[in-house]
Amino acid sequence: MREIVLDTETTGLDPLRGDRLVEIGCVEMVNHMATGQTFHRYLNPERDMPQEAFAVHGLSAEFLSDKPLFAAVAAEFLEFIGDAPLVIHNASFDIGFINFELEKVSRQPIARERLVDTLLLARRKHPGVSNRLDDLCSRYAIDNSRRTKHGALLDAELLAEVYIDLIGARQSQMLLASEARQTFSGGASDQPRRQRETPLSPRVSDSDIAAHAAFVATLGDKALWNEYSSKDT
């Protein structure tokens, strides 16, 4: 299953009052594992940057002045997310801005049925406590030391880690990784293989064994098969 973990940065809190997107960050996950594929763009908001917003993400109007408009990246953004569910922390905020920008460029809005709101998941799992992204990182021992300010791609990467813990997928990932990890030495694995509870019945019949032995006998005394046959007796 493909999912996209998404985060944004903006000039403020309300697109209907003139606030705009300034950054989008997306992380692709397949079967709850990050693939390494990302989408990240800074955007020119075509307006000033309020000091309150600058204090949160550190993106100045000067820095953003030569960045593309949302219209220039809309098609690429929509192609990247495809029809995958979107995993977002406080999803109504981010999707409100994204749909506002999509409407401005005559694109269809993203349906809210596609959203997986990790803030709601966290509130159900951890009621009565703060469930900000930093709090969840601390709760799940996820290193967020690089997060000195908010950043859309970094926050999406951290949220992807948090999401795995929120839905209980971390343990299954560790189990799969443990089963898949093998260290080969001399062509053989030193990791024990799991055994079937009920062994499979033999697929080679007595007549197959006799026919093979008769064939090996035609190869002479120096045939390599004789070495393997002697080990079985």
Q: What is the CATH number of the domain that holds 13?
A: 3.30.420.10
* Three-state DSSP state, 175: helix
Chain CA centroid to CA 61, Å: 31
Predicted confidence at residue 188, as pLDDT, reads 47
Q: What total of structural domains would you count in the chain?
A: 1
Asked whether residue 134 is domain-assigned, the answer is yes
Structure token digits, residue 5: 């973990």
Asked whether residue 36 is domain-assigned, the answer is yes
Tell me the residue range of the domain where 107 lies: 2-168
Asked whether residue 182 is domain-assigned, the answer is no
pLDDT at 88 over 70: yes
Please answer whether residues 69 and 42 qualify as being in contact, where contact means their C-beta atoms are separated by less than 8 angstroms: no
Asked whether residue 217 is domain-assigned, the answer is no
Q: How many helices (H) and strands (E) does the chain have?
A: 10, 7
Asked whether residue 186 is domain-assigned, the answer is no
- 194 — alpha (psi -120 to 50), left (phi > 0) or beta? beta
Known catalytic residues are: 150
Q: What are phi and psi for residue 19, nearest 5 degrees?
A: -80, 155
**What's the whole-number mean pLDDT along residues 28-41?**
97
189-204 tens-digit pLDDT = 444 445 555 566 666 7
109-157 tens-digit pLDDT = 999 999 999 999 999 999 999 999 999 999 999 999 989 889 999 999 9
Length of the chain: 233
Name which of 155, 175, 150, 179 is nearest 54 in CA terms.
150
Asked whether residue 116 is domain-assigned, the answer is yes
Predicted confidence at residue 23, as pLDDT, reads 98
Asked whether residue 80 is domain-assigned, the answer is yes
Asked whether residue 107 is domain-assigned, the answer is yes
Predicted confidence at residue 184, as pLDDT, reads 43
